[in-house]
Chain A
Amino acid sequence: MIFHLPLQYAWDANEEYLFKAMMAFAMRRYSSKSTTQISNVLLCNVTDRVSFWFVVTDSSKNTTTVPGSEVEAAIRMNRNRINSAFLLSDKTLQFLKISTTLSPPVEPSTPVWLIVFGVVLSLIVAGIVFLVVSGIRKHKKKNKESTERENLEEKGEVTITIENGIPCETLDLKAGHVNGVFAADDERFTSL
Chain B
Amino acid sequence: IQGYFILEDLPMDMPPEVPKEDGRPKWDNKFQYILSCIGFAVGLGNVWRFPYLCQIHGGGAFLIPYFIALIFEGIPLLHLELALGQCLRKGSINAWHTISPYLGGVGVASLMVSVLVSLYYNTILTWVMWYFINSFQEPLPWSVCPLNENRTGLNEECYESTAVNYFWYRKTLNITPDVTDSGTLQWWLVLCLAACWAIVYLCTIRGIETTGKAIYVTAIFPYLVLTIFLIHGLSLPGATEGLVYLFTPNLNILKNPRVWLDAATQIFFSLSLAFGGLIAFSSYNPSKNDCEKDAVTVAIVNSITSLYASIPVFSVLGFKAITGYWDCLDRNIISVINEYDLPEQSITRQNYTDWITFLNSSNPEKLTGLKLKSCDLQEFLDQSVSGSGLAFIVFTQAIILMPGSQAWAILFFVMLFSLGLSSMFGNIEGVFTPLLELQVISKSIPKELLSGIICLASFFFALCFTLGSGSYWIDIFDSYAGSLPLLVIAFFEVIGVVYVYKIKRFSKDVKWMTGRKLNLYWQITWRFISPLLLLIVFVAFVTLQIQKTPTYAAWNPKYVCFLIFAILNRSEGCMFFSPTKSFKITALQSCITNTRDGNIFKGSRETLLLSTMTGKEAVAR
Residues of A that sit less than 8 Å from B by CB: 2-6, 47-51, 101-102, 104-105, 111-113, 116-117, 120-121, 124-125, 127-128, 131-132, 135, 139, 169-170, 172-176
Contact = CB atoms under 8 A, between A and B. Distances in A.
B205 A4 contact: no
A49 B202 contact: no
A124 B198 contact: yes
Q: Looking at chain A's contact residues, is the secondary structure mostly helix, strand, loop, or mixed?
A: mixed
Contacts of B343: 48-49
Contact of B344 (A5, A104, A135, A172): A5
Given A4-B334, A49-B337, A128-B202, A113 B134 contact: yes
Contacts of A3: 344
B364 interface: no
B345 A6 contact: yes
Given A4-B334, A124-B195, A131-B448, 14 more contacts: A48-B341, A49-B341, A50-B344, A102-B147, A112-B137, A124-B198, A128-B201, A128-B205, A131-B202, A132-B205, A169-B19, A172-B16, A175-B2, A176-B2
A127 B2 CA distance: 49
B205 A139 contact: no
A131 B137 contact: no
A86 to B, nearest CB: 15
A102 to B, nearest CB: 6
Nearest to B130: A113
B260 to A, nearest CB: 44
B205 A117 contact: no
Interface residues of B, number: 43
A175 B195 contact: no
Given A121-B198, A173-B4, A51 B341 contact: yes
B133 A135 contact: no
A113 B19 contact: no
B23 to A, nearest CB: 11
Among B130, B199, B337, residue most surrounded by chain A Cβ atoms (within 10 Å): B199
A105 B21 contact: no
Interface in B1-56: 1-4, 7, 16, 19, 21
A113 B195 contact: no
B342 interface: yes
Contacts of A4: 334, 344
B344 A6 contact: yes
B337 A135 contact: no
Nearest to B210: A131
Nearest to A121: B195
B198 A128 contact: yes
13 contacts: A3-B344, A50-B344, A101-B151, A101-B152, A102-B152, A102-B154, A111-B137, A113-B137, A121-B198, A169-B19, A173-B1, A174-B16, A176-B1
Nearest to B129: A120
Contacts of B334: 4
A116 B147 CA distance: 25
B146 interface: yes
B4 A175 contact: yes
Interface string B134-156: 10110000001011000111100
A3 B341 CA distance: 11
Nearest to B452: A132
Nearest to A176: B2
B446 interface: yes
Nearest to B198: A124
Given A2-B338, A49-B343, A104 B151 contact: yes
A47 B339 CA distance: 13
Interface string B181-209: 00000001001101100110110011000
Contacts of A169: 19
A139 B337 CA distance: 79
B466 to A, nearest CB: 15
Contacts of B134: 112-113
Contacts of B192: 117
Contacts of B2: 175-176
Contacts of B202: 124, 127-128, 131
A27 to B, nearest CB: 24
Contacts of A174: 16
Given A4-B334, A49-B342, A139-B446, A116 B133 contact: yes
Contacts of B198: 121, 124-125, 128
A127 B203 CA distance: 9
B448 A132 contact: yes
Nearest to A104: B151
A128 B449 CA distance: 12
Contact of B136 (A105, A116, A132, A139): A116
A117 B3 contact: no
A104 B147 CA distance: 8
A8 B445 CA distance: 74
Contacts of A2: 338
Given A117-B192, A120-B195, A139-B446, A112 B3 contact: no
A131 B153 contact: no
